[in-house]
Amino acid sequence: MKIITWNVNGLRSHLKEEKGTWKWIKEQKPDVICLQELKSKPEQLTDAQMGTFKGYTVVWNPAEKPGYSGVATMVAKKTKEDIIGFGLPKFDKEGRVIQTRFDDFVLLNVYFPSGTTGMVRVKFKLEFYEALLKHIKKLQKTGEQIVLTGDFNTAHNEIDLARPKQNQKTSGFMPEERAMLSRYFDEAGLVDTFRALNPDKVQYTWWTQRFPTARANNLGWRLDYFLVSKDFFKKVKTVTIFDQVKGSDHCPVMLELK
């Protein structure tokens, strides 16, 4: 099984043929596609645009606020269950979570909040992290194996961003954010699949658009992850960061399961 995750930073722009986004995705032949930051609702797409997703069943979770957030999960085969959100209106109205149950695991496609607009949003981000961790631990108590993917908006360690020293007080690498992400490993026993397979590899999934040369100079951050339950890690074959694929400020990442 192949699962692609990608923060597309606006879905409708990717449906223009000149970007070649869907041509690239189809060439990978993924079984599941997890998209974040759609910034649109399905009713805003034309019939032709919706036809792009032919061959996939699409579950949408757009934000209530227009032009903001939103996630979608596209699956080639039938799933056991699809759940929008995770039961907390405070977070669910922002369109951040879709849960998909397969035979042997639960996939969570998540767009974690950003804290870059100020400390109010950093607090909201940490509350979201806390609530989702609690939810995942509940799923684990029922025996579920977890695959958690998406844009986490946090670089975990210094190896995960180009300029760690200069960003200690920048949201996305603040100590409290990194500590919260650590709890997903320590308390829920999740494994960062890319880092487990590539302990010393320096590779990023996001580059700021504030500085036009950031991507060309590879001044990036690794913000997009696949975390899996410890017992499920044995099923992981590869994790690939496609940092040469453009079209967004993020690049796609693919998990291949045995």
**All domains of the chain in start order, with CATH:** 2-257 (3.60.10.10)
Read off the pLDDT of residues 46-88 as tens digits, 9 standing for 90 and up: 999 999 999 999 999 999 999 999 999 999 999 999 999 999 9
| DSSP annotation string for the chain | -EEEEEE-SSHHHHTSGGG-HHHHHHHH--SEEEEE---S-GGGS-HHHHGGGTTSEEEEE--SSTTS--EEEEESS--SEEEES-S-HHHHTT--EEEEE-SS-EEEEEEPPP-TT-HHHHHHHHHHHHHHHHHHHHHHHTT--EEEEEE-S---SGGGBS-TGGGTTSTTS-HHHHHHHHHHHHTS-EEEHHHHH-TT----SEE-SSSTTTTTTT-EE--EEEEEEGGGGGGEEEEEE-TT--SSSB--EEEEE-
Q: Is 151 a catalytic residue?
A: yes
- Say what the pTM is: 0.97
Catalytic residue, candidates 47, 82, 92, 151? 151
- pLDDT, one tens digit for every residue, the chain (258 residues): 999 999 999 999 998 876 788 999 999 999 999 999 999 999 999 999 999 999 999 999 999 999 999 999 999 999 999 999 999 999 999 999 999 999 999 999 999 999 998 999 999 999 999 999 999 999 999 999 999 999 999 999 999 999 999 999 999 999 999 999 999 999 999 999 999 999 999 999 999 999 989 999 999 999 999 999 999 999 999 999 999 999 999 999 999 999
Read off the pLDDT of residues 25-45 as tens digits, 9 standing for 90 and up: 999 999 999 999 999 999 999
